[in-house]
Amino acid sequence: MSKSRICFAFATLALVFISSAFAEDVLVLTEENFEKEVGQDRGALVEFYAPWCGHCKKLAPDYEKLGTSFKKAKSILIGKVDCDEHKSLCSKYGVSGYPTIQWFPKGSLEPKKYEGARTAEALAEYVNNEGGTSVKIATVPSNVVVLTSDNFDEIVLDETKDVLVEFYAPWCGHCKNLAPTYEKVATAFKLEEDVVIANLDADKHKDLGEKYGVSGFPTLKFFPKGNKAGEDYDGGRDLDDFVTFINEKCGTSRDVKGQLTPKAGIIATLDNLVKEFLSASNDEKKAVFARMEEEVEKLKGSTARYGKIYLKAAKSCTEKGADYAKNEVQRIERMLAKSISSAKADEFTLKKNILSTFA
């Protein structure tokens, strides 16, 4: 199958690849703020785009990278205008196709059209030349595990891991459109020891693509602990869809930002025993605690760690009194309100969730 036919076969998927790339480091320009931001005391590179435009979506990851790289350069603005929302503004600057990229020199609203390659590197070189800067494209660490023929079986067929794999080709525009979202999925689950978000260049490693029936790009397959033959991922392609899928399939409880939800760490069988434990007499508590220990011994992977938190909480409640759990939850909430690392936030949230069942 030719490259063009493969990409065409997936063209309908492009509509759901709404890139979040333009969000944080690329300034959203409107009719209200355009002249307040552009033509002032800094040079501005502006992309005039349309949300439905395939070429704009293809450019999105590179333009985001450009914005990230220049965000600390006070003499440069990287912006964008949605021409569906602001038709008169785009018409004013002669925009007739998408994307149109224009450079506005410092103190001027007379633009120069950019005619170069649509890559982060080429755009950065242009901005540096026009704006007198020397910014290099930022290298953003990836949380997506890169697979090759050498490590595929070791990572994907590991029976202790749930693995989502994207089979992609470097030349495929739809793969490039998916990349920012897929990276966010990997980032959301980076602290989950039993979950792996990975990708494979199936154009380079054709043998693996053929082995797993890949006939178009991107193809996503899920390899859960109990089925290393793999199963097709046929869900939606936005961040919410992926996060919901991983949570349901892997038993995780994270939101789109990677933060643990109130359900994280909760184990139904132990919750039922906690209810018995709380209503039991002091003598009966020992017997219930022993049953809790038996249940925890059955747990594997990350759930075994959660089970130990249940046991420690039960022991502390016995030793320190009925108010221990409530007071400890309040203390943890104060800790979570501070600036702490993601790993610490996970640790405290799990403890808080489990202690809340004792409160």
User: Residue 18 pLDDT > 70, yes or no?
Assistant: no
User: Residue 9 pLDDT > 70, yes or no?
Assistant: no
User: Residue 279 pLDDT > 50, yes or no?
Assistant: yes
- What does the alpha-carbon distance between residue 194 and residue 160 come to, in Å, rounded to a whole number? 7
Residue 317 annotated as catalytic: no
Q: Are strands 219-223 and 195-201 parallel, antiparallel or unpaired?
A: unpaired
Task: Look at residue 22 in the predicted model and tell me its pLDDT.
Answer: 36
User: Residue 260 pLDDT > 70, yes or no?
Assistant: yes
Class of domain 145-250: alpha beta
User: Residue 5 pLDDT > 80, yes or no?
Assistant: no
* Catalytic residue chosen out of the listed positions 7, 83, 172, 250: 172
User: Residue 98 pLDDT > 80, yes or no?
Assistant: yes
pTM (2 decimals)? 0.64
Task: Look at residue 354 in the predicted model and tell me its pLDDT.
Answer: 97
User: Residue 353 pLDDT > 60, yes or no?
Assistant: yes
Task: Look at residue 6 in the predicted model and tell me its pLDDT.
Answer: 41
Can you tell me the mean pLDDT for 311-315? 96
Q: How far is CA 120 from the centre of its chain?
A: 21
Task: Look at residue 24 in the predicted model and tell me its pLDDT.
Answer: 65
Residue 83 annotated as catalytic: no
Fold agreement (27-131, 145-250): yes
Task: Look at residue 2 in the predicted model and tell me its pLDDT.
Answer: 45
User: Residue 56 pLDDT > 50, yes or no?
Assistant: yes
The yes/no answer on whether domain 268-357 falls in CATH 1.20.1150.12 is: yes
Task: Look at residue 300 in the predicted model and tell me its pLDDT.
Answer: 87
Task: Look at residue 23 in the predicted model and tell me its pLDDT.
Answer: 46
Can you tell me the mean pLDDT for 281-309? 93
Each domain of the chain, given as residue ranges in start order, spans 27-131, 145-250, 268-357
Residue 172 annotated as catalytic: yes
* Catalytic residue chosen out of the listed positions 56, 83, 250, 317: 56
Residue 16: pLDDT band (50, 70, 90) is very low
Range with the poorest average pLDDT among 23-32, 171-180, 350-359: 23-32
Class of domain 27-131: alpha beta
User: Residue 4 pLDDT > 60, yes or no?
Assistant: no
Higher pLDDT, 175 or 15: 175
Residue 53 annotated as catalytic: yes
Higher pLDDT, 302 or 192: 192
* Catalytic residue chosen out of the listed positions 7, 83, 90, 175: 175
